Structures are given as structure tokens and as C-alpha cells.
Amino acid sequence: MKLAIKLAFRNLIGAGLRTWLNVIVLSFSFVVIIWIKGVLAGWDLQAKNDMTNWEIAGGQYWHEDYDPFDPFTFTDSHAPVPPEFAEEIAAGDMEPYLVIQGSVYPQGRLQHVTIKGISPEQTLFMLPTGRLDTVMVDAIPAVIGTLMGKSLKMGTGDRVVLQWRDANGTFDAAELLIVDMFNVSVPAVDAGQIYIPLEKLREMTGMQNEATLFSFRDSEKERPDMNGWVHKSKEELTKQVDDLIKVKTGGTSVLYGILLLLAMLAIFDTQVLSIFRRQKEIGTYVALGYTRKQVVGLFTTEGAMYAVLAALLSAAYGMPFLLWQAKAGWTMPIDTSEFGMAIAQTLYPVYSAGLVAGTTVLVLVVTTIVSYWPSRKIAKMNPTDALRGKIQ
Amino acid sequence: MENGHIIEIEKLVKKFPMGKGEFIALNGIDLILDKGEFAGLVGPSGSGKTTLLNIVGTLDVPSVGKAVVLGRSVGNLTAKEAARLRKENLGFIFQSYNLLVVHTVFENVEFPLLLLKYSSQERKKMVMDALEWVGLTDKVKQKPPQLSGGECQRVAIARAMVKRPSLVLADEPTANLDAANSHNILKTMETLNRELKTTFLFATHDDKVISYLRRKIFLADGRIEKEERTDD
């Protein structure tokens, strides 16, 4: 094997341009596959981090009737805060949300919104709730996301009429003042959402000391379902992202499958040509004492070595590129805010050792198989014909 | 080998399939070659000399009869055993040199020693010795396309001789060379034969080669027609 590697290396280096063309194509596949996979891994990480930082923290408890995808459930999905949560809430490790449906009337239009009451002092999320801690007599302070702002055609300092129903079903209305806006890549936190002080919402609805859901900081703690409250783990809440990444991974696999196929075609072509063009050489190896099997091994090693050289070349130019990408990120050419999924405008690829090693092994194995396939023909060659370079 | 014969061939027949029938390339060859001979199979194209050389070189097998090379019956060798015999005991020189074009002169000559797993130091010494025999020590780093035909054939001789084989098989070694180069090559081989006692068997129809042979085995239509020996 050592000899085959030595000879294969000599043959490849000696073949010059032909070798380097194959190696360049293959190394391009290497870098692109790692980059695409890195972008997806980065997206996954970013989406989960953003969801954690802006929406779910370490996990949640939902009122048993609450369904975030069905606003009609909001009317009944509230109940007094269970005494078991009091300690964590007091310590700032758990935050209650009260969620109700409402409507706003920007520029005379009607738009349905979800009103979320949240404590202005909360430290669990990155939401700028501190600005809600404002005493106002003529309006309710509110913060909204930029996506919501765009939808309402409103910005900080603008006012709008808010209508809601209290616990008894009675309609009420008041003016809302946008005190701050935030930019987030998690649509569920932004689109259609208005955040106002929790106590204010409780007062507006007559739902004193009530909540719809709770987010908590500590995801490690054992948390059973409680009477009327369903525990939702972080994994459960981010499953949607995992599923989305899985679908994306499947889709991009097609892309790098094509890239790999192109590189493999180049290698396959080279191998087939080699076997025709290097018949005399094959005969010479046999005359000098190689078995035909060993010649097959030599040609296969040569093919596999394309992957090794490509890996080295990829490391030379790909590593700086990939590291730069990890730092600078990849900014998507189109506005992602209305994609309806947790995707930032700039994605920062994340490369794990497993990703690099896995890609290297995959390319090496595929290249070896592709190299072995045409090389098998050598085993059927008559050495005396091969020595004379007779096409067989 | 106990009897000192390098090659013992008895009633050797070699047939090749041809259409629905078969072509008989060798028909009842009997031949014995002893150590240190400088012999040649002489005959026109199609007389069977290359076929016989291939069988002796374990690159082909007899259809009928016996061919024993260095004590091993060619027809009974496995592919691995035949390869081992070639690797350890046989040297080949071809009409079109068959050098590895992407390798340097040094690497071409070194190749058989790599197969025999000599150490790097041993290889270097043996390669330089072989290149000295053929007068190419100044071309070690050149590649075959940079050499003349005569130089290429000298590299091929060095490659065949570097492992000091018992038997060297040369198939039309001067066919692609001019007269001056042919004589040079033949003198080199003759000197190596005398100094190293290596047995040489040629396949040729070139008069220049024939003039150097001490034993001429004339072949025609797959049979040995006659033999001539020249005293040293």
C-alpha cells in the first residue's frame, strides 16, 4: 500500500495539468459542500438562539387551552398564576405572559393583532420592555417589531387606537403609543404582535394575576405538567426549526450531489482515459512484477489521491474563505424579514469537526469507488496485449 | 535449476483463438538455455519469437507442453507466483522502451527495487551503479521525453539490470534505434552479460543484433528451424 501511494503520488504529480484540473474541481466541491452545510448549521444555531433569546427562553408552560396558531383559543386560555411559580417569578427566572386578541386602526384600516402583556422589568428576553415602564395617562405604552411597524406603517412615537375585549367579553378601546421598536429574525415575536405592560393588560381585561403562558430560564430543571398548565420543553418548541433545517438539508443535498457528480465525472473520465492511454504502462508494471490486482490497486489509489490532494488544496484556499465567512457571515441578497421563518438577514456559517471530517470521508469514499470502477478493466487485460498498447 | 538450465522447454505448443478456429503460434518447441548465455530467437514477423519470449517471461502460458523457467513451470504458476518470479529474477527490455514517462530516469530505474523493498540507501547506490553501466549518471533527473531513443533504451537496460536478474528478455531492443545507437546498446548488454554473468535472450530479426549473439535460434512458423553457436 505504501508503494502504491508513493507511485500514485509520483504519477499524479508527473501528470501535471490533468491532475490539477481534477483536483481543483474536486476541491471546489469540498469547499462548497462544507460551506453550504456550515450555513445550514449556522442558520439552525442562529434560529434556535434567537428563539431562545426572544421567545421561549429555557422552555414554557402553556395554559391547557392555549394554541398559538388559533387566536380564538386566546379568549379562554388564561388562569391565575399557580402558587408553585411564585418563587421563580419573584427571582426573575420565570416570566408570565397574558395573551389576548385585539384590533388596531392605523390610518383608518382595521388590523387584527395579538396583544401580549409582559413585565417591563423582565430580563429573560431581549425584548426592549424597559421602555414600557412609563407612566402615561392618555395612552398605553407599547413596543412592536420592525415587521409589525412596516405592516402598520407606524414607527416610534406614533399613536393608534387599540380595541380589545375584557374578561366578560365587553369591548373597550384606548390609544396606544409606540414607545420603542425592535428588530428580530423570529417572526412569531414580531409579526402581528404588540407588547404592553402586563399589569396594564391585566387591568384592561380584568384578568388580575392571570397569565396565558410562562417562560422560564432554567431548561435543565425537571418540570412536570401541572394542573391546567402544559409543560413545553425547549426541544419541543424548536422542533419546527429542526424540521425546517432537515427539509433544507435535503434540498441542498441535491445541489452538492450535483457538484460531487461533476467532480466524479471528471475523475471517472480521467480514469477511463488513463486505462486506454496507459496500456503500455500497465503492461510494464505487470512485466516488472506487479500482479494485475496490484495495478488495479495502484490506479484506484491514484484516483483516491485526487481526493487527498483536493482536501489539501481546499485547506489552502478554502480554510481562509470559510473562516472569513464564519466571521463576516453571508448576507442574503433579498430581504428575509417576510419569509415567515426564523432567518436572519446575515447567516454566520458554523463548521464542526464532524462536518469537515464527514465531508472529507464522504468525498474520499466516493472518489475511491469512482476510481475503482473503471480500473477493474485492468484485471481483465492481457499483459502481452497491454505491453504493445493494443486497444482491448 | 539443479541441472544449471535457466530455461527448459519441451514440446511447447501455443495456440490462440482465431475466429471459429485457432492459430498455432508455437508448434512443438524444445529448447534449453544455460546460465550466462547470450542467445536470440531469430526469425521474421509472425514466426513466434515474441510469443515464446512472453511465455518465458511468464506473461503468457503454454497451451500444451512444458516451459520451465528458473526451475518453475510457467503453466503451473499462479498470477502471484508469476509476478514474484518476474519481480525477483527477470528483466525486460522492450522495443519501444516502455519507460514510465512521468517518472525521472532515476525513478524509472529505481522502480524494480521499490517492488523488492530495498532501503532508500541501497536503492540509490544500485540505481547509480546501473546508470553508470549504461553511461547515464548525468541524466538522473531528466524524464523520458527529454531523452533520445538511444538514451531511453539505455535507461530500459539499466532498469532491467538494476536488480541483477538471472535472465534478461529483450524484445527487438534495437528496432527503434539507428546503427550507432544499436551497436552501443548491444555492446553494453554484451559487457553486462560477460561481467555479471546475466543470461540474455533476445527476440529479433535485426542483423546488427544477430551479429552479437553467441547462440542463434532460428524460428519459422512456430518451429525451431536451426541453431547456430558462435564461440566466445
pLDDT at B87: 94
Distance from CA of B140 to the nearest CA of A (A): 15
- Closest chain A residue to B101, measured at CA: A14
**In this structure, are strands B72-73 and A171-182 parallel, antiparallel, or unpaired?**
unpaired
Asked if the C-beta of B1 comes within 8 angstroms of chain A's C-beta atoms, the answer is no
**ipTM of the complex, rounded to two decimals:** 0.91
HSE value, Cβ hemisphere, 13 Å, CA-based, for A81: 21
Q: What is the pLDDT of residues A359-370, one digit of tens each?
A: 888 888 988 988
Whether residues A289 and B143 touch (CB distance < 8 A) is answered with: no
Query: pLDDT exceeding 70 applies to what percent of chain B?
Result: 98
pLDDT in tens, A201-254: 999 999 999 999 999 998 788 888 888 999 999 888 888 777 877 787 777 778
CB contact under 8 A, B83 and A3: no
pTM above 0.95, yes or no: no
Is the CB of residue B88 less than 8 Å away from at least one CB of chain A? Answer: yes
Looking at the complex, report in whole angstroms how far the Cα of residue B174 sits from the nearest Cα belonging to chain A: 16
Residue B124, chain A, CB below 8 Å: the answer is: no
- Specify the DSSP class assigned to residue A131: G
- Give the domain ranges of chain B: 5-229
Mean pLDDT score, B15-20: 88
Q: What pLDDT is stored for residue A339 in this prediction?
A: 61
Tell me how far apart the alpha carbons of residues B171 and B150 are, in angstroms, rounded to a whole number: 15
**Which of B57, B98, B115 faces A280 most closely, judged by CB atoms?**
B98
Q: How far is A262 from chain B (nearest CA, A)?
A: 27
Residues 6 or more apart whose CB falls under 8 angstroms from that of B127 comprise B106, B109, B110, B113, B140, B158, B162
Domain boundaries, chain A: 2-52+240-387, 59-218
Chain B CA closest to residue A11: B102
pLDDT above 60: residue A392: no
Q: CATH classification of B5-229, choosing from 3.90.1150.10, 3.30.450.20, 3.40.50.300, 3.10.290.10?
A: 3.40.50.300
- pLDDT over threshold 80, residue B207: yes
Residue contact A289–B96, C-beta within 8 A: no
Pairing of strands A213-216, B21-34: unpaired
Chain B interface test: which of A280, A288, A298 (most B C-beta within 10 Å):
A288
Distance CA B7, CA B71 (A): 8
**Cβ-nearest to A14 among B57, B102, B159:** B102
Residue of B nearest to A295 (CA): B83
The per-residue pLDDT for range B150-173, each reduced to its tens digit, is: 899 999 999 998 999 999 999 988
pLDDT classification of B147: cutoffs 50, 70, 90: very high
Residue with cell 418563587: A87
Cα separations in angstroms, A339 against A37, A185, A186, A332: 20, 10, 10, 12
Quote the CA–CA distance of B77 and B56 in Å, as a whole number: 12
A7 touching chain B per CB within 8 A: yes
Nearest Cα to Cα of residue B227 among B29, B13, B26, B4: B29
Predicted confidence (pLDDT) at residue A260 exceeds the cutoff of 90:
no
